[in-house]
Amino acid sequence: MSSATTPKVGVLVLNWNGRQLLEDFAPSWVAHTPDYAELVIIDNGSTDESLSFLQSAYPEVKVLAFEENYGFAEGYNRAIAALDYPYVVLLNSDAALSEGWLDEALQLLETEPELGAVQPKIRALRAPEAFEYAGAAGGYIDALGYPFCRGRLLDTVEVDRGQYDEPSELLWASGACLIVRRSVYLELGGLDTRFFAHQEEIDLCWRMVSRGWRIRLAPSGVVYHLGGGSLSAESPRKVFLNFRNNLLMLYKNLPTPRLYLVLLLRLMLDALAALVYLLQGRGRHAVAVLRAWRGFLILRPHYELPRGNNMRARRTDLPLPLKPYSLLLHYYLLGHRRYSQLP
């Protein structure tokens, strides 16, 4: 890339004490960042050897170093505000790129001005023919607020046989590789910093779609995600964050009176989930669900203003972006394990 050429895309990887992840994944980022893009490592105040490793192994790679750890959401928000690319990619530090992964996504964003975000297909690094849990072929939310993906329903993950390659509108794009129009990201205020981790990209995308922006899959691009780099699926902390943040997301984005009906149903279902954890001998997970509701109720007063802003900005001529059915009913009672089996 010529020094006189301004890159169209910033490929942003947030790092915090990820020296080993940099060693494992940076070769793929450097090899597959196209000429029209620029790779930027955002360092969140690392105290390990991350910065010295980058300086030694990849001196040509741009580094934006913060003096402290701002966390996932605030780290990206600060970086995207400071870096002036028309389009930015929020790429997880445990994701590997492949040849041509960005080409179709950029073409879609360049030719369809109503698109706010795009994602490639997300496959599992350890099972490269299978979709990866956190994104697969793009995401939706059911009538009760449960997120799911084309290619992944709850804990069932499909092999990618091209079954979801057709053009399709999404409700949310995966934060493992979220390709977004920078102006839209800034217009929406970026990621919600109070979420800390998990579902903040779904909240961002819901706000995007509610304002009339569209989200698409770019199926010719593939990114391979390791997953679980920050918190294991078995972590009670992860259970807490997923349940709490999902409730906060519903409170921020779901109009009245639908909101209170959904919250009532969720209270019953989440209590059932806690009971199931308890019967399985996973008491810490059961407590995490109860703590999630407590955390939601504590934070709810802080969300009156964001909720009001979202309701005022919402395009009332658009239908609610939620699917009109219950994922739990289809999965557990009807035995539907694939997205193609849903209505």
Give the model confidence (pLDDT) of 299-335 as tens digits: 999 999 999 999 999 999 998 999 999 999 999 999 9
CA-nearest of 45, 92, 40 to 69 is: 45
Mean pLDDT, all residues of the chain: 95
Evaluate if residue 1 carries a pLDDT over 50. no
127-131 and 115-124 as β-strands: parallel, antiparallel, unpaired? antiparallel
Q: Which CATH architecture has domain 9-225?
A: Alpha-Beta Complex (3.90)
| Sign of the torsion angle spanned by Cα atoms 189, 228, 33, 169 | negative
Q: How far apart are CA 2 and CA 278, in angstroms?
A: 60
Q: What is the DSSP letter of 178?
A: E
For residue range 126-179, list pLDDT tens digits in order. Answer: 999 999 998 999 999 999 999 999 999 999 999 999 999 987 899 999 999 999
Kindly list the domain boundaries of the chain, sorted by start residue.
9-225, 236-341
User: How much is the pLDDT for 5?
Assistant: 75
> What tokens appear for 295 in the block?
């955390």
- The bridge status of strand 152-153 relative to strand 156-157 is antiparallel
CB 226 within 8 A of CB 126: yes
Query: What does pTM read for this prediction?
Result: 0.94
Site of tokens 């009913």: 329
What angle do helix axes 236-253 and 283-299 make, rounded to 10 degrees?
30
- Cα–Cα distance between 214 and 217 in angstroms, integer? 10
